[in-house]
Structure 1
Amino acid sequence: MGVSVTTSEQGPVPVVHVQGDVDVTSAPSMREAIDALILAGHRRMVLDLTDVSFIDSTGLGVVVGRLKGLRRSAGVLTVAASHERVLRVLGITGLDTVLDVAPDVDAAIAAAAQTAQ
């Protein structure tokens, strides 16, 4: 399955929406979308993975790399994820303790906005 990556403004922070499987071939699209927001000056954003049912180590590497970059500039990356397989991968890797993970986009936006203050 391919991946679709779009961005939107939903409230106080931009959202990167990802649909499909995030793997070695599709992870660069996600990275490019996040990087474009960072280059545009955004330091707080939401990564919407609610329509992702699979993410491999390459996709996780993109998330971790962008999180580190944002944190260096006092930024925030909040992840919205609800699929059991994605949540399980985040838990097994321990990323659920490093990332702010919310069950849906609205909760992720609220968390990112609150963290921003």
Structure 2
Amino acid sequence: MNVSIEVKEKDNVSYVTLAGEIDAYTAPKVRDELMEAAKGDDVKLIIDLSGVNYMDSTGLGVFVGLFKQLRSNNGDMKLTGMTERLQRLFDITGLADVMDINTEVEGGV
């Protein structure tokens, strides 16, 4: 399966919508797109994961790397629209304790 990535900007915030599966096959594409959106200082990302139906540890690694990149440049990200399954994945790994996660989808663009 593939993954689709859409990035829109509004008021100095990048809104990213992901859909599909984030696994070993699609993670490099997701990583490249997200890292491009995260370039620069004080970048703010809101990432909608409501369309993601599967994520493995490779996908989690993408978000850990993105989180570190943003934090090192005074940036920030919020993950939104998580399904119960994805939320559980972030909870089990402890990432939900350090990342800003909201199960609701945030509009804006």
| TM-score tier (shorter) | 0.7 to 0.9
- Determine the structure 1 residue equivalent to 2:103: 103
Alpha-carbon distance in structure 2 between the residues aligned to 1:102 and 1:43: 19
Aligned residue pairs, count:
109
Opposite residue 84 of structure 2, the aligned amino acid is E
Deviations 1:50-101 (A, max 9, x none): 1112111111001001101110111101101331111110111111111100
Alpha-carbon distance in structure 1 between the residues aligned to 2:77 and 2:20: 20
Q: What are the residue-to-residue correspondences of 1:26-105 with 2, within 5 Å?
A: 26-39=26-39, 43-105=43-105
**8 Å CA contact retained: 2:41, 2:74:** no
More strand by share: 2
Identity level (%) = 34
Consecutive unaligned residues of structure 2, counting only runs of 5 or more, are none
Alpha-carbon distance in structure 2 between the residues aligned to 1:105 and 1:40: 25
Q: Which moved more, 1:74-83 or 1:9-18?
A: 9-18
Alpha-carbon distance in structure 2 between the residues aligned to 1:102 and 1:108: 15
Output the TM-score relative to the length of structure 1.
0.82
Output the TM-score relative to the length of structure 2.
0.87
Go from structure 1 to structure 2 and tell me whether the alpha carbon gap of 1:10 and 1:50 turns closer, same or farther (over 3 Å shift). Answer: farther
**8 Å CA contact retained: 2:81, 2:104:** yes
Q: Deviating runs (4+, > 6 A) in structure 1? A: none
Consecutive unaligned residues of structure 1, counting only runs of 5 or more, are 110-117
- Which secondary structure state, in structure 1, belongs to the residue aligned with residue 54 of structure 2? coil
**8 Å CA contact retained: 1:15, 1:45:** yes
Structure 1 vs Structure 2 CA RMSD: 2.2
